[in-house]
Amino acid sequence: MSTALTGAPTALPYLPQQAAAEEAGAQAAHPDGGGPQRAAPERAGAGADARPARADAEAGSRARAAAEPDRLLHPDPAVAAEQAALEALLRCWTRETGARPGPDGLLRIAVLGGAARLTVPVRHWSACGWHRFGAAVLTGASTAAEPVAAPATGPGSLAAEPGGPAPDGAPVDAVTAASLLAAAAADRPDPGRIADLAARVADSVTRTADILAHRREPADPAARPASPFLAAEQDLLLGHPLHPTPKSRDGLGPAQSAAYSPELRGSFRLHWYAVDRELLAAGSALTSTAEQLTESLLATPGLLPPGTAALPLHPWQARELALRPAVAALLADGRLHDLGPHGEPWYPTSSVRTVCRPGTPWMLKLSLGLRITNSRRENLRKELHRGLEVHRLLESGLGEEWRAAHPGFDIVRDPAWIGVDLPGAAGQDGPADPSGLDTVLRQQPFGPDQRALCVAGLVAEQPLGGEGPVRSRLGDLLRSLSARCGRPLRTVATEWFLRYLDAVVLPVLWLDGRAGIALEAHQQNSLVLLDTVGWPVGGRYRDNQGYYFRTSHADRLHARLPGLGEASDTFVADATADERFAYYLGINHVLGLIGALGSQRLADEQVLLAALRRFLAGPRAAATGSALPAHLLEAATLRCKANLLTRLNGLDELVGPVETQSVYVDIANPVAAA
């Protein structure tokens, strides 16, 4: 690594010579990392329509896109939030339908039964799906059989009387676009589901505007995050870039949002219950019991009544639980004791419900009945058992073997949990699940100065105003490395990506191929460890939901840990593991990283895709034994989670069989095409 820091060229082992030359030429022509935008051919049947009556509106739309600055950087946070929501919807649409822009750089989408269309200028077209768009315009609505109704209020709303038809050529806000796209996506549109999507988009836009307004203000020094880890957890300002409602949090009021939202740098005291031991449910894979661990976190001598255990809860959940009849009855008869809020503030991380406190060796994954994006976030018992199983499995010798091959990578353990056995519903065997009262104890292995950063927070756009391009934590890091090394930005970005593949991706492939454990390693579940100047040197995975034990490895896994999977329901058919692993690690994580680098003008996506091909075809990836490298190299299409269709089908991704929790579609494989 020392050669990179002194400015001497570092060998890029996976980068083809031709791609390297192209990369160097592109850097010379575009030293700011911008580079030319590649025009994409329009796919037949993708909603293109060349009727002359609409040509003027389209030409005007294209001219406006060329002249207007990036709307994500608009000084009004409400306008920037509208644009962010619109772009997320359009990224979902193009991914899930295969729609592409025409040679003129305009994306056209037929809506209202084909009588009208949305026309959107493309600012950046990404091979990996991380597109950027300008403002959308609706044409043909005045002649449609059922004119679209304009929202009465809101930034970017249609220029029409409230509730009236949208005029031809009017700009479209995110809520209207969501309604139009939802109706166009369904053979038989369901008005209830369309209305639900529109409401969640509106909620997401409002919350995003609040976040941007807050983060654009000068930061209070007292509110600055206490560690690099927490800072990255608070940086997902816009949320998932390929989700239609990335910041929807159904049921969270404005005052609650200020305290409970990581992006607003909120903090709060935990709410505590004391649980009679006859109701207590708990598990631990450690020498300490879960009850001992939570009592140490409460740290208030004499507060617990005799014969009880301390149960930490999210304050929003505590208020909601008191309204549930089963919990209210236990509180009334004294078997549950409401102790109220106690202790120092805790800070929500990127998932909202997992909280940390500097100086404490534990994080807490709390049950939270809010619907965040697609799902209500209450812990399920099988997930709690899974956390213990994974810890025991790694301690059986597997973790030692893994660290011998990849010493910089590990799993953030969930080795204990505590909760309450509530009576199950009529006809249900065993206690209620979820109870809403179960909490996970997660290890906090990061010191205050350790640079362990959530990958999603690292790559997230930070539209905090100013001149373009939109910045990100990763962009700032790469520019700093470029200046330190005295080397072009794109060259540094490419080397950083290659080191990342070795430090973070290769260990995950090893665990899949050698142990038969595929991780749901999307960007938010993944952490990258950086050295003191910013190069990737390791990684961590976190999540007690996202494990797939392959049935083809069942005998070997059971030999390591008898009874594995009986309580956690973690074994799946290899075909299911292949599909999910390819999506979470391949599409969401690695292609998402390439897309972020490209859309933020930090690197050329085609150069990075060529480098990824060399990595996947190389001996180190082959030695992992995972089937994913060959699949990414050879498959013409990949199975991809469709977040818009999942939302329109009303699916909760944490409920039901793993095979049917989400909608999956086929998308073109940019790795095979590179």
pLDDT tens-digit map of 339-375: 999 999 999 999 999 999 989 999 999 999 988 776 7
Question: What tokens does 586 get?
Answer: 């391949």
Of 252-256, 491-495, 589-593, which range is least confident?
252-256
Q: How far is CA 659 from CA 95, 242, 314, 558, 573, in A?
A: 21, 21, 30, 23, 10
Average pLDDT, the chain: 87
Confidence tier at 146 by pLDDT (50, 70, 90) = low
Least confident of 37-41, 91-95, 408-412, 476-480: 37-41
**How much of the chain, in percent, has pLDDT values that exceed 70?**
83
pLDDT at 14 over 50: no
pLDDT of 654 > 60? The answer is no
Please report which confidence band the pLDDT of residue 26 belongs to, taking 50, 70 and 90 as the band edges.
Answer: very low
Looking at residue 149, the DSSP 8-state letter turns out to be B
Q: Inform me whether the pLDDT recorded for 108 exceeds 80.
A: yes
Domain 452-673 has CATH 3.30.70.2740: no
Q: What is the pLDDT of residue 50?
A: 40
Mean pLDDT of 528-542: 98
How confident is the model over 265-275, as pLDDT tens digits? Answer: 999 999 999 99
633 has pLDDT over 80 = yes
Sort strands 571-572 and 547-550 into parallel, antiparallel or unpaired: parallel
Q: Is the pLDDT of residue 257 over 90?
A: yes
Q: What is the DSSP secondary structure assignment for residue 582, as one 8-state letter?
A: I
Q: Of 50-54, 319-323, 469-473, which range is least confident?
A: 50-54
Domain boundary assignment for the chain = 54-211, 249-443, 452-673
Given a cut of 90, whether residue 11 has pLDDT beyond it is: no
State the pLDDT at residue 3: 34
The pLDDT of residue 142 is 66
Say yes or no to pLDDT of 38 above 60: no
For residue 656, pLDDT over 80 is answered with no
3 to 14, 127, 486: CA distances (angstroms): 18, 32, 11
SS3 667: strand
pTM of full prediction above 0.85: yes
Give the per-residue pLDDT at 653.
56
Q: Provide the token pair at 387.
A: 């956390």
